[in-house]
Structure 1
Amino acid sequence: MKPLLGWLSARWRSIILLVWPLALLPLAVSPYSEARCGYVVLVMALFWITEAAPLPVTSLLPVVLFPLLGILSTDDVCIQYLKETNMMFIGGLIIAISVEHCNLHKRIALRAILVIGTSPGRLLFGLMGTTMFVSMWISNTAATAMVTPIAKAVLAELKAHEKAEKRSAILAIDEAFAEYTQETTGKETKQDSPEDEEEETPDKEAVGYFLGICYAATLGGTGTLIGTGTNLIFKGLFATAFPNGENITFAGWMMFCVPLMLLCTLAGWLWLMILYMGLFRRKKSGSAVKTAEQRKAVKLVIKKSYQDLGPMTFHEGSVLFFFIVIVLLWFFREPEFMPGWAAAVSDVEVQDSTAVMLVCFLLFVLPADLDFLKFRFNADKPCKPSPSLITWKVVEKKMHWGIILLLGGGFAMAEATNASGLNDLIGDTLSVLNVLPDLAILIIVCIATTFLTQFASNAAICNIVLPVLAKMAVAVEIHPMYLMMPACLCCSYAYVLPVGTPPNAFVMGECNMKTSDMIKAGLGMCVISIVFLLVLFPTYGGVLYGLNGFPSWAANSNTTESFHDL
């Protein structure tokens, strides 16, 4: 039995890749297009969830299967891989890479921590706050990787001070004991070296700091449309399912998600303070930052790291300027509370990708320094071209090409379910849920999505769940955003396991914490996030997005075409 289990554990991916498509083969040869489309959806769903094949590779299957099964033409499938949403994602990544390339994100983080303070609560709040803000604009993993070394340096300094204080105390006691022994017995005693101490276990407070960083990175990604891939997946799938529906704007997303993000981050900070920092409990003698000397040492470490960056360069200042410009362009393109700039400059629809591509072009052509202004008369020192603010070589190395394919694969699958009529089948099946209150359906959706995203890729779960919820909303006559947007946010709430999201795995490797620590703290964060979401979205979100009633554009969408009998 043991050899068999070992063989299965080594080859389970190959078994899934071979057995699952063969088991579903009757659907692929069915005369009904709905069944053939269902074959592709089920095959891709299991491959995405188990990662039997790399996620981007699985995302290429629609290009092969949909044309061969007679569902969509090759042109109709391929065009889904570079829609406006994908272009916005590419532009957002280029902006983020530019910020990382000039170390602007590190300068912002260190400065913010210096301003906030270095007591236990303030240090945790500073690490979480800066990680959250940076993660709104660059990838969650990059934000975590940026702040984690800062936390490690701070904690190493704290540990060094603790050991020094402990060593001083031990030496003082030993000297007093030796003096007493010599007076009473006239013999000298051998003093134990403080170096003989047993190796310390990982500090409980250190676990709290690292968990705070990865949770803040996850929550920061929910704050803007470009913060994480699942947000843009929602935007693209919503537009595909409801082409006449409401436009998901950058400003409209932030108006709800930023307050939710701030509340969840603040509650998460409080939860970690209670769980790991002893808040509302008597202070223990081993508290990490308990003396003014230690707080001063932490501040010196952070200040030195900040000073090592040197003064802000022309490169950093230029990238910061264009970063502010693109945020303003995104926010005021269609701010909803006032006319946007897009309507003033053009009669055709101008979306967010237009603005970001303009800024990206400028980043590639404008110089990173002012050396081009210097004119040299010395022929022995020829002038060199000034490097641009970002180069294509840097972008090629850091661009997440796999996520772009994952977005395209999800959009192609959504387009195929519309074209094949599978939408109507799913809608008719889910219409039995109309007996439940809307809030009950929302609670079930949020809990189920949060549970699933703990074990599989957030983007994969989003691609699988959201098209189903679009059909469910139409079937039970609920505003589609009422189910789809909370489910999209819940796809990011992967706090419990290291495999749930890259920031979790990253801090797990950096900090010697137990999996039980992550599970215990992560379950609390899941409850916090879901509760805030369930309270805010039906109330504040309902007013903001006008979720009362079933909109006419959803009733007239291609998801409500009558489904013919199989």
Structure 2
Amino acid sequence: MPPRLRRPLIIFLASCLGILVYSMVETDQEAAKGLGILTFVAILWLTEAIHISATALLVPLLAVATGILTVKEALSNFANPIIYLFMGGFALAAALKTHYIDQWLARRVVTMAAGHLKLASLYLFGATAFISMWISNTATTAMMLPVMMGLTGKLDREKHGKTLVFMLLGVAYSANIGGIGTLVGSPPNAIAASILNMDFASWMKVGIPVVVILLPLTIGLLWLMLQPTFPDQDTEGKDFPAFKMSWTPQSIWVLVIFSIVVSLWLFSSQISGLLGITKDFDSFVAIGAVVLLLGSGLLSWNDFNHTTDWGVLLLFGGGITLSLVLSETHASLFLADSLVSWFKSVPPWVFLTLAIALMVFLTELASNTASAALLVPIFFSLPYEDTGVAPELLAIGVAIAASCAFMLPVATPPNALVFGTGLIQQKQMVKCGVLVNLLCICVLSLYLSLR
């Protein structure tokens, strides 16, 4: 289908389906409105017929036009504190990149391997996951990929083809998994946290164990599948782009500010009480970091503007507004009752596993942020009495699962970046990724069931 016809056709079909859903729900007029909006927005988000951020702006327009919310109520969620928390994360990432601290860390990891290629690759996987907790997985992969390509520069593609695939997929998968660890690591985390009122430290108590468990298991599974054979000779890292860190007062101050901000986030519950800030202390700290970095000249507005994904921030606002629409119209309860009736005889752990699996495979084809904005509030609305699973665990499980798409190049930017090297065939990524997907589903289900 020609691209110029695809967009209007999808918008037309989405409108028709939204109206159809609205007309089919006769028992509750308000719920019908909410479900109609949900259907329309879901199709646009999942197909990306128009940019997902533009669709996010449609949510408050539709909510006001249908009389569900006032203009003030509909737009207030675009100033939700979680948005400013993520903005602070973008500012820190921009500062680390501007002063080359991220590259310094990557090179230090290679140096620690003392010239051993096998050890260097494992260290880089760990460093990629750690850095991805604080800056976007896309930026992390873009930074680590030249380092990894440099390390593998002299490998024979015929003899060590599987080794190349192992190392490249390892970087992409480590970036995806690392983002699970913190609120600023991946947008779905923040969407769930905003609904659950979780602070930075509370999320880390859930996310870090997942990273610690999932990362070695994923790398181990890749190792078993690909059986990489590392050459006898070691590497001294001479093939990756040369880099010499020049520690200036500005770069040192950036590192100090980064350390202070992370410490305040980690101990927010204790420190916020002393300062008398009872709610959203993490966002307060994030705004302070933005002002301090920009006001001191350590970060220019151009660098901050270039690094900040403003579309993601709009998507947060749209997702939170959609959650409010579903709540105000009781559409979420309608969906909850429907889901429960379909799976009423299913054991709790099976229901949790199905919810996680749905998100994992959905995000192979759709934006993980949009999918999380769509499904997290729905699963959170399911009562414990009907599913046997705490709504909080369902919301967390679905949000984390949004970062676990490993099969297709289109699933995540890290997957696309390593696929773009031309060293990995799509069938190799699918073969490895489907098993890693299944591993993630099992690990998440077991981990959350035991909490």
Among 344, 348, 354, the alignment partner of 2:274 is: 344
1:203-255 CA deviation, whole Å, 9 max, x = no partner? 221111110000000000001111010100111233xxxxxxxx412222212
CA drift at 1:322: 0.8
Does the 8 A contact of 1:132 with 1:219 survive in 2?
Answer: yes
CA drift at 1:526: 1.3
Among 406, 412, 416, the alignment partner of 2:315 is: 406
| Secondary structure, aligned partner of 2:420 | helix
Task: Confirm whether residue 237 of structure 1 aligns to residue 237 of structure 2.
Answer: no
The code of the aligned residue for 1:20 comes to: A
Structure 1 residue aligned with 2:333: 424
Among 25, 40, 44, the alignment partner of 2:41 is: 44
Structure 2 residue aligned with 1:462: 372
Distance 1:95 1:530, change over 3 A: same
Distance 1:415 1:350, change over 3 A: closer
Distance in 2 between residues matched to 1:27 and 1:259, nearest whole Å: 41
CA drift at 1:347: 5.8
1:372-391 map, 5 Å: 388-391=297-300
CA drift at 1:14: 2.3
Distance 1:511 1:151, change over 3 A: farther
Distance in 1 between residues matched to 2:247 and 2:121, nearest whole Å: 26
Paired-residue identity, %: 25
Does the 8 A contact of 1:430 with 1:475 survive in 2?
Answer: no
Does the 8 A contact of 1:207 with 1:511 survive in 2?
Answer: no
Structure 1 residue aligned with 2:211: 261
1:104-503 map, 5 Å: 104-156=101-153, 158-159=154-155, 203-238=161-196, 247-278=197-228, 287-291=229-233, 295-296=234-235, 298-301=236-239, 305=242, 308-334=243-269, 340-346=270-276, 348-366=278-296, 388-432=297-341, 433-474=343-384, 476=386, 478-503=389-414
Structure 2 residue aligned with 1:243: none
Does the 8 A contact of 1:233 with 1:407 survive in 2?
Answer: yes
Among 20, 26, 33, the alignment partner of 2:14 is: 20
Distance 1:276 1:119, change over 3 A: farther
CA drift at 1:425: 1.7
Does the 8 A contact of 1:120 with 1:277 survive in 2?
Answer: no
Does the 8 A contact of 2:188 with 2:372 survive in 1?
Answer: yes
Distance in 2 between residues matched to 1:147 and 1:471, nearest whole Å: 40
Distance 1:436 1:19, change over 3 A: closer
1:2-21 map, 5 Å: 6-7=1-2, 11-21=5-15
CA drift at 1:398: 1.9
Does the 8 A contact of 1:124 with 1:269 survive in 2?
Answer: no
Provide the alpha-carbon RMSD of the alignment.
Answer: 2.1
1:485-504 CA deviation, whole Å, 9 max, x = no partner? 11111111010001111111
Structure 2 residue aligned with 1:508: 419
Distance 1:530 1:347, change over 3 A: closer
Distance in 1 between residues matched to 2:321 and 2:160, nearest whole Å: 47
CA drift at 1:508: 0.6
User: Larger Cα Rg: Structure 1 or Structure 2?
Assistant: 1
Does the 8 A contact of 2:117 with 2:151 survive in 1?
Answer: no
Distance in 2 between residues matched to 1:313 and 1:436, nearest whole Å: 60
Structure-1-length-normalised TM-score: 0.75
The code of the aligned residue for 2:274 comes to: A
The code of the aligned residue for 1:232 comes to: A
1:306-364 CA deviation, whole Å, 9 max, x = no partner? xx323322222111111111110001011xxxxx0110111643520111211221111
CA drift at 1:475: 5.9
Distance 1:61 1:95, change over 3 A: same
Distance 1:510 1:110, change over 3 A: same
Does the 8 A contact of 2:18 with 2:35 survive in 1?
Answer: no
| Secondary structure, aligned partner of 2:13 | helix
1:128-155 CA deviation, whole Å, 9 max, x = no partner? 1111111010000000000001111222
CA drift at 1:474: 4.8
1:101-144 CA deviation, whole Å, 9 max, x = no partner? 11101101110121134434313212211111110100000000
Does the 8 A contact of 1:139 with 1:227 survive in 2?
Answer: yes
Structure 2 residue aligned with 1:536: 447
Does the 8 A contact of 1:205 with 1:277 survive in 2?
Answer: yes
Structure-2-length-normalised TM-score: 0.93
Distance in 1 between residues matched to 2:214 and 2:115, nearest whole Å: 22
| Secondary structure, aligned partner of 2:403 | coil
The code of the aligned residue for 2:231 comes to: V
Task: Confirm whether residue 81 of structure 1 aligns to residue 48 of structure 2.
Answer: no
Task: Confirm whether residue 519 of structure 1 aligns to residue 425 of structure 2.
Answer: no
CA drift at 1:23: 4.0
Distance in 1 between residues matched to 2:49 and 2:115, nearest whole Å: 45
Does the 8 A contact of 1:229 with 1:403 survive in 2?
Answer: yes
| Secondary structure, aligned partner of 2:349 | helix
Does the 8 A contact of 2:109 with 2:120 survive in 1?
Answer: no
Of the structure 1 ranges 48-57 and 389-398, higher mean CA displacement relative to structure 2 is found in 389-398
Distance in 2 between residues matched to 1:479 and 1:24, nearest whole Å: 30
Distance 1:222 1:347, change over 3 A: closer
The code of the aligned residue for 1:270 comes to: G
Q: What is the aligned residue count?
A: 446
Of the structure 1 ranges 265-274 and 20-29, higher mean CA displacement relative to structure 2 is found in 20-29
Distance 1:23 1:523, change over 3 A: closer
The code of the aligned residue for 1:463 comes to: A
Distance 1:12 1:463, change over 3 A: same
Of the structure 1 ranges 526-535 and 40-49, higher mean CA displacement relative to structure 2 is found in 526-535
The code of the aligned residue for 2:404 comes to: Y
1:437-488 CA deviation, whole Å, 9 max, x = no partner? 2112111111121111111110111111112111223561632112111111
| Secondary structure, aligned partner of 2:366 | coil
Of the structure 1 ranges 213-222 and 28-37, higher mean CA displacement relative to structure 2 is found in 28-37
Does the 8 A contact of 2:164 with 2:423 survive in 1?
Answer: no
1:178-205 CA deviation, whole Å, 9 max, x = no partner? xxxxxxxxxxxxxxxxxxxxx9698221
**Runs of 5+ in structure 1 lacking a partner?**
1-5, 163-198, 239-246, 279-286, 335-339, 367-387, 543-566
| Secondary structure, aligned partner of 1:428 | helix
